[in-house]
Amino acid sequence: MPERASGDSVLQLLAPLSGWVLPLDEVPDAVFAGGMAGDGVAIDPTGHALHSPCDGVIVLMGAARHALTLRTRGGDLLLHVGIDTVAMGGAGFTLRVRDGEHVRAGTLLLEFDLDEIVRRAPSAITPVLLVGARAGQVSRCQHARRVAVGDPLFEIVPDGAKATAAQATAAYASPREAIVSSAFRIPFDHGLHARPAARVAAALAGIDAQVKFSVHGREADARSPVAMMALGVQRGDIVTADARGGGASAALTALEGVLERVAETTPAAGMALSPARAHTVITPPAKAPSPGARLDAVIASRGLAAGAAAPLVDVDPPIGAAHGDASAERARLSAAIDAVGARLRAMAASGQAARRGVLEAHEALLADPGLRLRALGQLEGGASAGAAWRKSLRNAAASLAALSDPRMAERRADLLDIERQVLRVLNGDTFEAAIELPARAIVLASELLPSQLLSLDATRLAGVCMVDGGATSHVAILAASIGLPMLVAAGPAVLSIAAGTPLILDAEHGQLLVAPSADEQARISAVIEQRARQRAEDHSAAGQPALMRDGARVHVYCNLGAVAESAPAIVSGAEGCGLLRTEFLFLDRAQAPDEGEQLAVYQAIATALGGRTLTIRTLDAGGDKPLAYLPQAHEENPALGMRGLRTSLARPELLDAQLRAIVRVAPPGQCRVLLPMVTELDEVRTVRKHLEAISAALAVPAPKLGIMIETPASALLADQLCAEVDFLSIGSNDLSQYTLAMDRLHPTLAARLDAVHPSVLRLIAGAVQAALARGIEVGVCGALATDAAAVPLLIGLGVRELSVVPAQIPRIKSLVRTLASAEGAQLAQRALELPSASAVRALAREWSEHHA
Ligand code: PEP
Ligand code: MG
C-alpha cells in the first residue's frame, strides 16, 4: 500500500486498524481524552492487526508490546492498542517489526488478541496520536465512521516545525544559564508509560523552562512523552530533573503534582575535576549507606580491591552556541570529528588487544556516515555544531537503548562516549586533561565510559563501581583486560558515598563494602598482597606444562577472538587454542568475509601459535551474537532460534567458504574444526560430508572434526555423537543457559546462572565419560574452565583439557599443579549428589580451604 500524500508536505495517515473512529474526547481515559498525550483520533477495533498508517521508522516502547511509536516526517505517532493494556505485560500481543525498522504505509506492525484485551483491559479503544515535538498539526480527522485498514484517517499539515527546532536550540545554546535540579521517584505502577509520560508533559505546558530527565545514564526531554517512554523507567526508579530557563523552579514544582519529589540536588563533594569537564554535578537522592553496609552489584570484571571512595561526578560537556552560519558549523563539526578519529587511531596503534578493539570500535562508530549526515541535517535547521552532533548521537543511542538485546543497549554507552569526545573538541578542551585520582582510588560513577576509564591514572586506580552499566559493555571488557576489578548495576546509593570513605570492592562475590571495620580492611589488604605475590610466581612458571601432583598432565589452551590475542596468549603459556570464536573476527561488517580473507586471518593465527593446535569454531552467529552481514528474521526467542550451526547449515555457501579457508591453512593438521550448537547426529554428518568433499578437492587430509557440547541434547546423545566426531569441547556457558532455562544475558538471573549446578555437572560427566570410552579428546572451553572453584571439579570429572581466557593461563596452570586425580574424583562425586549450585560452591570453597 503506497503512502498517499495530498501534496508535497501534507502527510496523509491511513487507518492502521479496522473499526469505528472516535474523537479523542470519547476515549475512556482522562489523559488521552484531554489531549495530554497528543492530538489525533481513536479507533474502536474490530480487527486484530495493527498496520503502519504511513512510512516511518519504528521506535519500540519497551517490553510490553502494547504500543509503539512511528517516527514519521510529520512527527512521532503513538499507536497505543487499548487502554491500560500496559498491565497485560505484553501477553496477547505479537510484534511483527523490530525497533529501528523502516516500514511502509500498510506494513503489519503488531497482532493482538482482541478477546484477551476485552477480557483484561478497561477498553480496546486505540488512540492514534501525533505526540511530542511536532512538525505539523492534525487536520481533517475522519470521525464517527467505520474504517477499513488503509482508509484515510487524518492528515498532518506542516507548521511551526522550524520554530520548535529553533526554540529547542536556543534553550540548549545557553549552557551557562543556571540549572536547578531535583530528584523524583516514579509512582506509576507500570513506570513512565504512555499516559503518565503524557501527564508529565502536560504538567509542564505553558512553563518557560527546558526540563531534562536523567536516569540510568540516559536523558530525555520531559516535554516529549515518546522520549520519556524510551527511558524505560519503572515504578520506584529515581529520575533527576534538570530545569533551566525563567520558569525552572516553577517547572520542578509542577512536576511535584505528578511525581514524588525525593530531594533537591546539591553539588557533590566529589573528586577534583578539571573545570572544563565539570559541567553538571548531580548528587543522587539515595540515602548514604551506613558504615558496614554491603551493596549488591553485578560483577563486570572479577577481582578484589581495597581503597578509598573517589566519586566521579557525571560529566556532560555543554553543547555551545553556533560560531557562524551552517557552513561554518559544518566545517567545525567535521574538523572535530576528524580530530577525535585521529586521536582514537593513534591510541589504538599501541597497547593490548582489548584496548585496541574498543578504540577501533569507537573509531568505526565515529566514521558512521549516518551519524554525520543526520548531524549535518540538523545544522541546516540552524543548530550549533554541538547541538547537531548531540542530537544525532542521542537519537541513535535512544534507538539502541530501546532494543531488547542488552548487548546492543550497552553500545549506547559507546555512542555517548564519542558524543562527549567530539563535544570536548568543539568546546576547545584539550584531550590530555586527565582526571586526578587519590591513591588506591575506587571510582564510583553513574556510568563510566571507555574513554573516561582510559583517561584515569591506572597507577592510582584500584577498582570501579557503577550505579548502572552492563557486564558485557566495552568498559567492562577494558577493565577485565587490565585486571581491574569492576562492579556494575550497584544502584544509586553508590553515588551518595562520600569521597575518601574506605571501601572494599569485592568483585568476586558481587558486593561493595562501605566503611568496613579496620580488621576487615587489614584482612582484605593481606589477601590482595598475597595474591600479587602468587601472580608473580604463576607468571614465572607459565611456560611449563601443568602436571598434577600425581604426574597426570592437563593441557591448558586459550580461547581467542582476534588475531592480536594469539602471540600474547603463547607468552602466557597457552599450549594451543581450544576455541577460536570466528564470529568475533569479522564483526561490524556489512558483507560476509570471503574465503581468502578468512584464510589470511586463520593463517596469521596459526602462524602466531607456532604449530600448536588451532581449534576453529564455525560461525556461531544469531542469538546473542547478531552479525550485520547475516541479517535474520525477527525471532521471538533468538536463543532458541536460528543460531550456531543451524545458521551455517541454512547458508551452505557460507559454511563451505569457511571450511575451505580452514582446510587451506598450512601446515595441514594444525587446525581442528569445531561445530557450535549441535543437537543431533545428522547435523554433524552433513558437515562431515562437506568437509571431506572440500578436503578431497584440495587434496589435503580432512582436519579433525569436533563438536561443542552446549545443549542438553548433545550432552545426552554424547555416546552416539562420539562415534562420529574426533573430539568434544564443552561449552559451559550455553550448556548452563539451556539446562537451567535462564537467558545468559538476563540481568536479574545472572547471579543464579551458575554452571556448577549439579544438573550441568551431570551432563558434563556424561559427555566426558562418553568421550573417554571412545578414546577421543574432550575439553572444556566455556567460562567454567577459567573458574578456579570449578577446575578441581572438572579435573575430577575426567577433563584433561581446559581452554581459558589467555590472561588466566598462568593462574589455572598453577592451580592444576596443586591437584591430584583421585582427590578430584572424590570431590566431583560429592558435587554430583548435591541439590543446587550454591551447595556445590560451598563444597568447593570448603574443599579448597582445606586443600590450601
Ligand atoms: C559456551 O557456550 O560455553 C561457549 C564457549 O561458546 P560461547 O560463549 O561463544 O557461546
Ligand atoms: Mg556457546
Q: Return the HEC string of 693-745.
A: HHHHHHCCCCCEEEEEECCHHHHHCHHHHHCCCCEEEECHHHHHHHHHCCCCC
Give me ligand 2 centre to Cα 735, in Å: 8
576 CB near ligand 1 (under 6 Å):
no
Ligand nearest to the CA of 783: 1
Q: 254 to each of 95, 260, 407, 693, how far by Cα in Å? A: 36, 11, 37, 73
Strands in 670-827 per DSSP E: 671-675, 704-709, 727-730, 777-780, 801-804
Give me ligand 1 centre to Cα 299, in Å: 18
Q: Which atom of ligand 1 is nearest to the CA of 732?
A: 3
Q: Count the residues in the chain.
A: 852
Beta-ladder partners of 41: 23, 128
Residue written as cell 607468571? 539
Q: Is the peptide bond before 667 cis (omega within 30 degrees of 0)?
A: yes
| Structure-derived torsion over alpha carbons of residues 733, 735, 741, 743, reported in degrees to the nearest 10 | 30
Minimal-distance CA residue to ligand 1 atom 1: 731
Taking a C-beta distance cutoff of 8 angstroms, is the pair 812, 791 a contact?
yes
| Distance in angstroms (rounded) separating the CA atoms of residues 580 and 566 | 10
Q: Ligand 1, from 708, 736, 739, 799: best to mutate by most atoms within 8 Å of Cβ?
A: 708
Taking a C-beta distance cutoff of 8 angstroms, is the pair 116, 88 a contact?
yes
The dihedral of CA 703, 704, 705, 711: what is its sign?
negative
Q: Ligand 1, from 617, 733, 760, 763: best to mutate by most atoms within 8 Å of Cβ?
A: 733
**Protein residues with C-beta less than 5 angstroms from the ion ligand 2:** 710, 731, 734
Q: Which atom of ligand 1 is nearest to the CA of 781?
A: 5
583 CB near ligand 1 (under 6 Å):
no
3-class secondary-structure state, position 289: coil
Is residue 287 exposed (0-12), middle (13-18) or buried (19+ Cβ within 10 Å)?
exposed
Strand order in 179-185's β-sheet? Answer: 218-221, 210-215, 238-244, 179-185, 260-264
Ligand nearest to the CA of 678: 2
Give me ligand 2 centre to Cα 477, in Å: 18
Q: 759 to each of 437, 754, 837, how far by Cα in Å? A: 46, 10, 9
E strand or H helix that includes residue 810: helix 809-817
Q: Annotated active-site positions, please? A: 474, 781
Ligand nearest to the CA of 780: 1
Give me ligand 2 centre to Cα 789, in Å: 21
Minimal-distance CA residue to ligand 1 atom 3: 731
| Distance in angstroms (rounded) separating the CA atoms of residues 568 and 552 | 26
224 CB near ligand 1 (under 6 Å):
no
| Distance in angstroms (rounded) separating the CA atoms of residues 211 and 525 | 46
Give me ligand 1 centre to Cα 809, in Å: 18
710 CB near ligand 1 (under 6 Å):
yes
414 CB near ligand 1 (under 6 Å):
no
E strand or H helix that includes residue 330: helix 326-348
Q: What is the pTM of this model?
A: 0.55
Q: 363 to each of 6, 85, 277, 350, 393, how far by Cα in Å? A: 43, 42, 22, 15, 14
Residue 759 phi, psi (nearest 5) = -65, -40
Taking a C-beta distance cutoff of 8 angstroms, is the pair 208, 167 a contact?
no
The CB density around residue 28, as the number of other CB atoms within 10 Å, is: 12
Q: Which atom of ligand 1 is nearest to the CA of 783?
A: 3
CA 207 to chain centre: 37
Taking a C-beta distance cutoff of 8 angstroms, is the pair 378, 388 a contact?
yes
pLDDT of residue 593: 92
733 CB near ligand 1 (under 6 Å):
yes
Positions of the chain with pLDDT lower than 70, given as ranges: 1-8, 60-64, 132-135, 159-179, 216-218, 226, 263-286, 314-315, 350-353, 401-410, 430-435, 587-588, 624, 747
pLDDT of residue 357: 76
One-letter identity of residue 402: A
The dihedral of CA 490, 491, 495, 499: what is its sign?
negative
pLDDT of residue 580: 96
Give me ligand 2 centre to Cα 733, in Å: 6
Which of these, 811, 778, 773, 770, lies nearest to 795 by C-alpha position?
A: 778
242 CB near ligand 1 (under 6 Å):
no
Strand 461-466 relative to strand 294-296: parallel, antiparallel, unpaired? unpaired
Minimal-distance CA residue to ligand 1 atom 6: 731
Minimal-distance CA residue to ligand 1 atom 9: 581
Q: Which atom of ligand 1 is nearest to the CA of 784?
A: 3
Residue 78 phi, psi (nearest 5) = -100, 125
Q: Which atom of ligand 1 is nearest to the CA of 731?
A: 3
Give me ligand 2 centre to Cα 581, in Å: 9
Taking a C-beta distance cutoff of 8 angstroms, is the pair 143, 58 a contact?
no
CA angle (559 as vertex; 604, 480 as ends), nearest 5: 110
581 CB near ligand 1 (under 6 Å):
yes
pLDDT of residue 172: 27
Q: Which atom of ligand 1 is nearest to the CA of 710?
A: 2
All 3 cell numbers of residue 550? 600425581
Give me ligand 1 centre to Cα 454, in Å: 28
Q: Which atom of ligand 1 is nearest to the CA of 559?
A: 5
User: Residue 749: which residues within 8 A CB-CB, separation 6 or more?
Assistant: 742, 743
CA angle (826 as vertex; 823, 828 as ends), nearest 5: 110
Which of these, 704, 693, 697, 728, lies nearest to 799 by C-alpha position?
A: 728
Minimal-distance CA residue to ligand 1 atom 8: 733
736 CB near ligand 1 (under 6 Å):
no
| Distance in angstroms (rounded) separating the CA atoms of residues 731 and 755 | 10
All 3 cell numbers of residue 272? 577534583
Residue written as cell 551474537? 625
221 CB near ligand 1 (under 6 Å):
no
Between the two ends of the chain, the Cα-to-Cα distance in Å is 73
3-class secondary-structure state, position 255: helix
| Distance in angstroms (rounded) separating the CA atoms of residues 229 and 669 | 56
> What distance separates the 2 farthest-apart alpha carbons in the chain?
87
Q: Ligand 1, from 582, 643, 710, 728: best to mutate by most atoms within 8 Å of Cβ?
A: 710
Which of these, 661, 662, 673, lies nearest to 579 by C-alpha position?
A: 673
